[in-house]
Structure 1
Amino acid sequence: MENLSTKFQYNNVVNISRAFVKIMRPKQWTKNLLVFAALLFSNNLFNMDLLKLSLYGFFLFCMFSGSVYIINDIVDIEKDRKHPKKCRRPLPAGLISIRQAWLFVMVVFSLTVLASYRLSPLFASIGMAYFALVCLYSFYLKNVVILDVMTIALGFVLRAVAGTVLIGVRISPWLLLCTILLSMFLALHKRKSEMELVAKGSKGSRKILEDYTPELINDMLHIVTSSTVMAYSLYTFTGAHSVYMMGTIPFVIYGIFRYQYIVHTKDMGENPELILLNDVPLIVNIFLWVVSCVVILYWL
């Protein structure tokens, strides 16, 4: 009987621990890989000291973003309970309580700020700015048309900027421009997929979707998609790197087209992180793009 009780307590601890990890949405941490962009394009990828710094920065930014996801889930718990997929998240599913979530996020955020400050005060400031921005988004900006997707884009920019200040290199305007456009491309596709769910009768949708129309989303996507390709192409033409960087343009075009294909045929636009983790052709394309960039920037 005592063994059964011990086993039950052990399983309960394991389940709660898994719920705390899940509520930080580790599948979305792929977005924080932008921290490494400055390392790659500043020709410091093989500098072990800077690589170690970027790895620390990546982990800490995962903690910053994970903390924000917890707060977002606390704010949206009632809406998520009505959502066909989000209802399985730890909070709406009742795996952890709101009180436990608040305690957990306060501990994680406090430790992350302390560790970030010891690594770099400026990096810590950017991390806290990101945290404040996304909290503002969760409580208010996600309900303001156009500003909602622009806020998401700014969050991606802060990730890229955090990577540059951490290793002490100049912030490239091309890096910022391409980051803004690509993140808006992802955010608009997310809104479009959410609108399609509503059209199919999904409950618990975002209020902001009432301010968008399919025509508006499509017009914005046309502008952002073409601008993304043009901005990256101009970077390869005019950047201080090898002219051979033009050879990476097809990877960018294919990646954008492949993403659009998946969104339109497999209804996955609401979860871009799942596309990046599960679509083999897209993963192979990103890998080949990274390898091409490394070969061109470091050996040609």
Structure 2
Amino acid sequence: MAAERTGALVRQEARAGAAPAPVRPDGGDGGGGSLAGGLLRTARPRQWVKNVLVVAAPAAAGELASPHTLRQLFLVFVLFTAAASAVYFLNDARDAAADRAHPEKCRRPVAAGLVPVPLAYAMGALLALASTGLAALFCNRATAALLASYVVMQIAYCLLLKHVLVVDLAVVTAGFVVRAMSGGLALDIRLSRWFLITAGFGALFIVAAKRYSEALLMGEGEGETRALLREYTVGYLRFVWQLAAGVAVLGYCLWALEGGTGDGTSLWRQLSMVPLILAVLRYAVFADRGGAGAPEDVILRDRPLAVIGLCWGLLYGLSVAGL
């Protein structure tokens, strides 16, 4: 009942404001009306922050000091940015009709008609082939195979898997985990089991919270723009993100308390649990209110969350430095 009342309030707030602006030829989002501007917006520059996850494994291993490492990670970041943008182009082209029914997605350049659907398909295919081809040329086999698997998985998601209950959550979550693994594979760094558990369930927390927010906004049974919202209940999605948050925190705490490479457990590493838990609790506030539908906005715009993140980075940096 509480979730239903929350959902009703969220939908009332969404409907109380001005009605969604008519779709304009320029995409209607305040950006430039040129084709080039539309292509750039379709590539989702704001989403590129997700690809910073490629530094996660090397950072966890404390191996970010050498110029070679930084160059390799930048290359992997660029390749994943191209691959992810390819998926955005293909997804927007395929979902153009459905996006026009959404109060926000109707402003996307493809849905608004600024970027023709055939051109979006062509750009998606070009970026997908270029990213995987360059990975094969300039990275090791493991990284190239991982990136190719990511592209194939995401295309399968766009075509079929996003219509399969629960599997859609798993595939989107896997996309985050693949990013987090890629930097380690590119540098031949052994991936800790606790790192994979924390990354996997942390990603599931973000994904399920996003779906939960969308379900609150659209209402149960009103998922015209994401068909599976008709199948999920807000109660189920709430259960998933709460479970995932708990497991992610537990995994991180077990890693932080685990002995290091023969030197014992760093006090700074143990203390880093505090800001990590605070960050999860802070993000959960937005998730519980139905305000986590755009994770990148929450992460980039919430100042307390940014301060907590800086504190975690300081403590973790001190741990890696062995101080």
Q: Residue 83 of structure 1 contacts residue 202 of structure 1 at CA under 8 Å; is this kept in 2? A: no
Deviation at 1:147, TM superposition (A): 1.3
Partner of 2:71: 52
- Asked if 1:109 is matched to 2:133, the reply is no
Q: TM-score, normalised by structure 2?
A: 0.84
Matches of 1:274 and 1:201 in 2, distance apart? 26
Q: 2:243 maps to which residue?
A: 223
Which stretch has the larger CA shift, 284-293 or 177-186? 284-293
What is the CA–CA distance in structure 2 between the aligned matches of 1:203 and 1:166, rounded to whole Å? 39
> For each residue in 1:155-210, what CA deviation from the matched residue of structure 2 results, as whole angstroms up to 9, or x when unmatched?
11111221111111112211111111011101111111111112299663311112
Structure 1 residue 111, shift from structure 2 partner? 2.3
Q: Partner residue of 1:278?
A: 301
Q: The residue matched to 1:91 in structure 2 has which SS?
A: helix
Report what 1:28 is aligned to. Answer: 47
Task: Give the match for residue 251 of structure 1.
Answer: 275
When residues 201 and 230 of structure 1 are mapped into structure 2, their CA distance, relative to the original with a 3 A threshold, is closer
The answer on whether the counterparts of 2:222 and 2:229 sit within 8 Å (CA) in structure 1 is no
C-alpha contact 2:201 2:248 (8 A) present in aligned 1: yes
Could you tell me the TM-score, scaled by structure 1's length? Answer: 0.90
Please give the secondary structure, in 1, of the residue aligned with 2:109: coil
What per-residue deviation string (whole Å, max 9, x for no partner) do you get for residues 244-296 of structure 1?
2110111111111111212344x431111111111111122222212221111
Report deviation, 1:151. 1.1
Instruction: Tell me: CA distance 1:215–1:107, structure 2 relative to 1, closer, same or farther (3 Å).
Output: closer
Q: Write the distance in 1 (CA, Å) between the matches of 2:247 and 2:152.
A: 29
Check if 1:70 corresponds to 2:85.
Answer: no
Cα distance change of structure 1 residues 56 and 14 upon mapping to structure 2, 3 Å threshold:
farther
Whole-angstrom CA distance in 2 between matches of 1:239 and 1:73: 46
Confirm or deny: 8 A CA contact 1:82 1:204 kept in the other structure: yes
Alignment deviations for residues 50-99 of structure 1 (CA, whole Å, 9 cap, x no partner): 11100111111111111111111112111101100011111001111011
| Residues 180/203 of structure 1: CA separation in 2 closer, same or farther (3 Å cut) | closer
Which one is further off, 201-210 or 65-74?
Answer: 201-210
Contact 1:194 1:205 in 2 (8 A): no
Change (3 A) 1:141 1:247: same
Query: Secondary structure of 2:307's match?
Result: helix
Taking only aligned residues, the RMSD between alpha carbons, in angstroms, comes to 1.9
2:165 and 2:220 map into 1 onto residues whose CA distance is: 22
Asked if the contact 1:39/1:51 (under 8 Å) is kept, the reply is no
Q: CA deviation at 1:229?
A: 1.1
What letter is aligned with 1:210? Answer: R
| CA distance in 1: counterparts of 2:241 and 2:129, whole angstroms | 38
Please state which structure has a larger fraction of its residues in helix.
1
Instruction: Tell whether the 8 Å contact from 1:83 to 1:203 is kept in structure 2 after alignment.
Output: no
Equivalences, count? 287
- Is residue 2:103 matched to residue 1:84? yes
Looking at structure 1, the residues matched to 37 and 313 of structure 2 have their Cα atoms a distance apart, in angstroms, of 32
On the 8 A contact 2:220/2:233 being kept in 1, the answer is: no
Partner of 2:119: 100
Identity of aligned residues (%): 27
Residue 37 of structure 2 aligns to which amino acid in structure 1?
R
- Structure 2 residue aligned with 1:10: none
* Cα distance between partner residues in 1 of 2:297 and 2:201: 20
Query: Would the aligned equivalents of 1:23 and 1:69 in 2 still touch at CA under 8 Å?
Result: yes
User: Match of 2:257?
Assistant: 237
Residue in structure 2 matched with residue 171 of structure 1 by the alignment = 191
Give 1:156-235 correspondences, 5 Å limit. 156-199=176-219, 204-235=224-255
Counterparts of 1:53 and 1:239 in 2: how far apart (Å)?
29
Instruction: Please say if residues 209 and 238 of structure 2, whose CA atoms lie closer than 8 Å, have aligned partners that are also in contact.
Output: no
